[in-house]
């Protein structure tokens, strides 16, 4: 009889199916690994590095590393969580994130991950970049202040919508999200409010006009449950599998 393939995550056995990555197997087994750019519907990308774990002592991105039999994976350690906290703090200061006044507060993955990791104050100086709002589209508003360069909207627009409305421009600290139009205006693209690209932003860049604060603060997604619990509820599982 063939035994189920598995690896260990922080000392616990995690079963996996051939083709699964470490993060896919972990979430399916009810084990949370912090992440921002990972999305179960898209090819793993490894943009944010928040899901970095140690695999047999080596740093690897859990979203791009295939699960393999017998590997020892470390995730919930002081060293790794300290690195994650630093990454989250850098994301906050590289953009303009003003949570108390943001309509995405309570639904924002960056904010929720920060709370889950215990990040309560800035560690670095804020850069306060100049990122104009694009309100040209009749239904969608773009607030570039909050972009964390996860590329989810880029992948959704290219892979699902087949429109390639969004792209990245620049390098290093000058890298930024742009709109693929000669004018640079969202109104001059074929983006529709129903597109997948409008639904995947983990922060508050892509917003539906007229929908701000429709759900009161205190009753939003991550107000009710921490992201570590929500991620496990949302993780794809085989038919009949139990949630962790």
The first and second tokens of residue 161, run together, are 């919508």
Query: Does residue 40 contact residue 50 with C-beta atoms inside 8 Å?
Result: no
For residue 175, being part of any structural domain is answered with yes
CATH number reported for the structural domain that contains residue 212 in this entry:
3.30.70.20
Per this entry, what is the length of the chain?
244
Exposure class string for 13-45: b at 16+ Cβ within 10 A, else e: ebebeeebbbbbbbbbbebbbbbbbbbeebebb
56 and 131 share one domain: no
Range of the domain at 26: 6-76
Contacts for 34 with CB less than 8 Å, ≥ 6 apart: 50, 51, 84, 113, 116, 117, 227, 228
pLDDT in tens, the chain (244 residues): 345 699 999 999 999 999 999 999 999 999 999 999 999 888 888 889 999 999 999 999 999 999 999 999 999 999 999 999 999 999 999 999 989 889 999 999 999 999 999 998 888 999 998 898 999 999 999 999 999 999 999 999 999 999 999 999 999 888 999 999 999 999 999 999 999 999 999 999 999 998 888 888 889 999 999 999 988 888 775 544 544 4
Residues 41 and 154 reside in one and the same domain: no
In a domain, 1, yes or no: no
pTM for this predicted structure: 0.91
How many domains would you assign to the chain? Answer: 2
């Amino acid at each position: 009889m063939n035994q189920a393939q598995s690896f260990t995550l922080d000392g616990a056995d995690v079963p996996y199916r051939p083709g699964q990555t470490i993060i896919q197997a972990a979430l399916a087994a009810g084990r949370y690994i912090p992440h921002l750019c990972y999305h179960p519907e898209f090819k793993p990308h490894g943009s944010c590095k928040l899901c970095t774990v140690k695999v047999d002592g080596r740093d690897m991105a859990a979203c791009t590393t295939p699960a393999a039999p017998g590997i020892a994976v470390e995730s919930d350690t002081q060293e790794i969580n300290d690195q994650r906290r630093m990454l989250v703090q850098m994301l906050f200061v590289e953009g303009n994130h003003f949570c108390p006044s943001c309509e995405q507060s309570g639904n924002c993955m960056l904010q929720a991950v920060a709370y889950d990791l215990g990040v309560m104050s800035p560690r670095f100086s804020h850069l306060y970049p100049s990122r104009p709002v694009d309100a040209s589209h009749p239904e969608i508003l773009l607030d570039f202040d909050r972009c964390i360069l996860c590329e989810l909207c880029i992948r959704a627009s290219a892979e699902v919508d087949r429109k390639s409305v969004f792209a990245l421009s620049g390098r290093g600290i000058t890298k930024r999200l742009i709109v693929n139009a000669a004018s640079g205006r969202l109104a001059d693209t074929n983006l529709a409010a129903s597109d997948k690209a409008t639904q995947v932003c983990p922060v508050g860049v892509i917003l539906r006009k007229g929908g701000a604060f429709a759900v009161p603060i205190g009753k939003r997604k991550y107000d009710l449950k921490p992201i570590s619990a929500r991620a496990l509820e949302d993780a794809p599982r085989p038919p009949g599998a139990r949630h962790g």
